[in-house]
Amino acid sequence: MRAFVFDRYKQPVHEADIPEPAVGDHDVLIRVDAAGLNHLDERLRSGEFKALLPYRPPVTLGHDLAGTVLRVGRNATGFSTGDRVYARPRDFRIGTFAERIAVDQADVALAPTSISSVAAGSLPLVALTAWQALVEEADVQPGQKVLIHAGAGGVGTIAIQLAKHLGATVATTVSAKDADFVRELGADVVIDYRTQDFEAELSGYDVVLDPLGGESVLRSLRVLRRGGKVVGISGPPTPAFAKAAGLNPLLRLAIAALSRKVRAAADKLGVNYEFLLVRASGDQLRQIARLVDAGIIRPVVGATFPFDQTAQALRSLGTSSIRGKAVIDASSPRA
């Protein structure tokens, strides 16, 4: 079957003919109708996550999908042939930039019924990221103040809506052209990152969700109240994350060094920093689907590409500025 793979780290993605997926006893075989494009794919290809996620090339990329169930494993329950589903396959079983994929049933949920396959395909990775950051890591409560960086991006558009649903007052950083757009999503305070300094504008925040990394994390620590928390999804990873992930002692030491500056700054300010590497969860996707069908969360698709243009679409991720997510529409005719 057709798929898009890379053969070596830092080498371009290209189309390839790969074997049909093996369907395990607890798996669901899914025809991919749509697949979200994520910066994680490019970061994985470039080798940035090689220590944390040591894939052995060739690797078929793609971290989320919406599709149609073709077959279920003999011990898989809850799904039937023809079901419309969506999923974020677990690490080391990714590969949604392909015609078909076998996914562990625990990672799959019935797709929201109120939206298209393309819209559903945009959701799994970013919606799970927002959920795990705001609900699990930060335990956002009504009345709290939450800052979400890059509010017009894939994670940001969903996180703003989820934080508002949780009862928070939401601030976000965007360019001026996206100010009205993020207000429509529910943002209460909008900071133009080109002309305003969010450190000078904001204080006393309970939670910051930071998808940017680098200096943004350090600066975000300074807008928190004592006891507040920054959840970073671009790094640096922390020793607590390394221990929970079962990484080897040498890698734990390296990670401790990478995050030492951030952790020291957090300790000095009396705040907290956590690193999140999102995990697969069909249970959480079921809860997210209910929020979508209730009209509480709406996906934002800023661009679509046909399956044939997957490689070009991946290359465009770092150069184009779209709202929300870019998605591969695999339901269109394939050459």
User: From residue 118, how far is each of 85, 100, 124 by CA, in Å?
Assistant: 12, 16, 12
Give the structural domain span for 191.
126-275
- Backbone CA torsion sign across 193, 219, 171, 115: positive
- Reduce the DSSP state of residue 264 to 3 states and report it: helix
Based on the fold, state whether residues 136 and 179 are members of the same structural domain: yes
User: From residue 256, how far is each of 28, 233, 263 by CA, in Å?
Assistant: 38, 16, 9
Distance separating alpha carbons of residues 27 and 200, to the nearest angstrom: 51
- Local confidence band at 332 (pLDDT 50, 70, 90 cut-offs): low
pTM passes above 0.85: yes
At 243 the pLDDT is 87
Instruction: Please tell me the least confidently modeled range out of 101-105, 131-135, 254-258.
Output: 254-258
Does residue 291 lie within any of the structural domains? no
The tens digit of pLDDT for each residue in 49-104 reads: 888 899 999 999 999 999 999 999 999 999 999 999 999 999 999 999 999 999 99
Looking only at the bridges linking them, the beta strands covering 108-110 and 84-87 are antiparallel
61 and 40 Cβ atoms separated by less than 8 Å: no
Based on the fold, state whether residues 25 and 50 are members of the same structural domain: yes
- Local confidence band at 335 (pLDDT 50, 70, 90 cut-offs): very low
At 73 the pLDDT is 97
**Residue in 128, 129, 122, 94 with CA at minimum distance from that of residue 233:** 129
Based on the fold, state whether residues 201 and 241 are members of the same structural domain: yes
320 DSSP 8-state letter: -
In sequence order, the 6+-apart residues with CB closer than 8 A to the CB of 294 are none
Based on the fold, state whether residues 311 and 170 are members of the same structural domain: no
Based on the fold, state whether residues 130 and 271 are members of the same structural domain: yes
Distance separating alpha carbons of residues 67 and 104, to the nearest angstrom: 14
Q: Write out the two tokens for 262.
A: 């951030």
- Local confidence band at 244 (pLDDT 50, 70, 90 cut-offs): confident
Give the CATH number for residue 45: 3.90.180.10
The tens digit of pLDDT for each residue in 171-228 reads: 999 999 999 999 999 999 999 999 999 999 999 999 999 999 999 999 999 999 999 9
Count of domains observed in the chain: 2
Does residue 282 lie within any of the structural domains? no
Based on the fold, state whether residues 107 and 130 are members of the same structural domain: no
The tens digit of pLDDT for each residue in 3-48 reads: 999 999 999 999 999 999 999 999 999 999 999 999 999 999 999 8
The tens digit of pLDDT for each residue in 279-321 reads: 999 999 999 999 999 999 999 999 999 999 999 999 988 777 8
Looking only at the bridges linking them, the beta strands covering 2-6 and 59-60 are antiparallel
At 290 the pLDDT is 98
Based on the fold, state whether residues 61 and 176 are members of the same structural domain: no
Measured between its terminal Cα atoms, the distance across the chain in Å is: 12
Give the CATH number for residue 163: 3.40.50.720
Based on the fold, state whether residues 117 and 131 are members of the same structural domain: no
Does residue 62 lie within any of the structural domains? yes
Based on the fold, state whether residues 229 and 269 are members of the same structural domain: yes
Distance separating alpha carbons of residues 328 and 83, to the nearest angstrom: 20
At 247 the pLDDT is 87
Based on the fold, state whether residues 96 and 141 are members of the same structural domain: no
* Host H or E run for residue 251: helix 249-269
Based on the fold, state whether residues 58 and 130 are members of the same structural domain: no
Based on the fold, state whether residues 11 and 107 are members of the same structural domain: yes
- Reduce the DSSP state of residue 293 to 3 states and report it: helix
